[in-house]
Structure 1
Amino acid sequence: MNLPMFQGFGKSLMMTVLSEVGDRTFCVAAILAMRHPWSSVLCGCLSSVILTTTLSAVIGWAAPNLIPRELAHRITTLLFFGFGLWSLWEAYNEDDDDNEELEQVEKELNQDAAPKDTTGKGPKGKEGSKVAEDLKKQRKPFLTNFFSPVFIEAFSVTFFGEWGDKSQLATIGLAADENAVGVILGGILAQVLCTVAAVAGGKSLASKISERLVTMASGVVFLIFGVQSFLSTVY
């Protein structure tokens, strides 16, 4: 591993770990792992974060080819400073209850998983049950023929939770300024570590993490990256 790749790998690893630990998708993985088979949850979450990390890095890698490299470097520097100040502001205004994010995610998942009222007018008895079962099979999503419903739920919730998130935007900016392969490898390793920790530790781990402290640490790291990017030379 050469120096540029190692530098991109280290930055991506540190940035992603501090951004993801105790984050919304971390809580989603922890809660889903308590309700469903952990293997399906782990595979769904890992597939999603690997895809989003790779797509983000590819977008960042392509940016310097679409706009001048010096401009991409300046935008990246501003992103680092902006995300750093944003994180510190979030940490300053964070509620004392570190479980608030976990409870909110759990509440939303409970609402999504609540059984729908199907006691409307319709056929009754065995004939009605058979008709309802046939309708259910007809409405069965196409993807469930290839993947389990738990895998699809874990993948989709994680994917849309990550898309447009602060960590994803930071990965795009980092890949525009650093070695894209190193950024991908570091980001994937960080996502794997966080996802495995969430699935293995479950709710107890998520509830013991001080989200304010992690958010503050990520803000400091972003600012350090911003200073380093500001002082570095564009090649």
Structure 2
Amino acid sequence: LERSASLVQDPESGVVRKNPKKSATHITMRILMQAFTMTFLAEWGDRSQLTTIILAASKNVYGVITGGIIGHSICTGLAVIGGRMVAAKISVRTVTIIGGIVFVGFAVYALIVKPDDI
């Protein structure tokens, strides 16, 4: 069967049917759900979440919610924009190595500096 842009043959049944085109809304929702799931799972139990819990226990809950949403939105937005810019210039391997070095640097800093000094 010759394939056109609008017809597709099911390889198992041999039935020819129209190829459903995915709408922009469908694609956008798929990306949104992937980003939400990855961010939610990555942040669950993270140090920033634990810090937010401690902050909410001692401060105004609505202020913590608002500040957390704004702070996380700005941080994520900068990460997305920065990631797009970096991906155009530097390889993923280089970014991974730099990220690892920065992570180890923060770990050493956390070992040296006392929490009361911050």
1:168 and 2:58 equivalent?
Answer: no
- Normalising by structure 2, what TM-score? 0.55
Aligned counterparts of 1:181 and 1:220: Cα–Cα separation in 2: 34
1:218 Cα deviation after fit: 6.0
AA at the equivalent of 2:105: L
Equivalent residue, structure 1, for 2:104: 212
Could you give the per-residue CA deviations for residues 70-89 of structure 1, whole angstroms, max 9, x where no partner exists? Answer: xxxxxxxxxxxxxxxxxxxx
Equivalent residue, structure 2, for 1:101: none
Q: Structure 1 pair 201/181, CA: closer, same or farther in 2 (3 Å)? A: same
1:153 and 2:42 equivalent?
Answer: no
Equivalent residue, structure 1, for 2:12: 122
Aligned partner of residue 186 in structure 1, secondary structure? helix
Aligned partner of residue 122 in structure 1, secondary structure? coil
1:191 and 2:81 equivalent?
Answer: no
Aligned counterparts of 2:106 and 2:115: Cα–Cα separation in 1: 14
Q: Which consecutive unaligned segments of at least 5 residues does structure 1 have?
A: 1-120, 138-143, 229-235
1:172 Cα deviation after fit: 1.0
1:165 Cα deviation after fit: 2.2
1:200 Cα deviation after fit: 0.7
Aligned counterparts of 1:221 and 1:190: Cα–Cα separation in 2: 24
Aligned counterparts of 2:41 and 2:58: Cα–Cα separation in 1: 25
Could you give the per-residue CA deviations for residues 141-192 of structure 1, whole angstroms, max 9, x where no partner exists? Answer: xxx5xx6211111112211222222321221122102232332233223212
1:199 Cα deviation after fit: 0.6
Report which of the two has the higher share of helix: 1
- Normalising by structure 1, what TM-score? 0.31
RMSD: 3.9
How high is the sequence identity, in percent, across the aligned residues?
34
Q: Structure 1 pair 219/173, CA: closer, same or farther in 2 (3 Å)? A: farther
Aligned counterparts of 2:104 and 2:44: Cα–Cα separation in 1: 22
AA at the equivalent of 1:171: T
AA at the equivalent of 1:214: F
Equivalent residue, structure 2, for 1:223: 115
Q: Which consecutive unaligned segments of at least 5 residues does structure 2 have?
A: 1-10
Equivalent residue, structure 1, for 2:63: 182
Q: Structure 1 pair 194/177, CA: closer, same or farther in 2 (3 Å)? A: same
Q: Structure 1 pair 184/154, CA: closer, same or farther in 2 (3 Å)? A: same
Q: Structure 1 pair 170/155, CA: closer, same or farther in 2 (3 Å)? A: same
Higher RCO, 1 vs 2 (CA within 8 Å, ≥6 residues apart): 1
Aligned partner of residue 164 in structure 1, secondary structure? coil
Q: Structure 1 pair 188/213, CA: closer, same or farther in 2 (3 Å)? A: farther
Aligned counterparts of 2:82 and 2:113: Cα–Cα separation in 1: 25
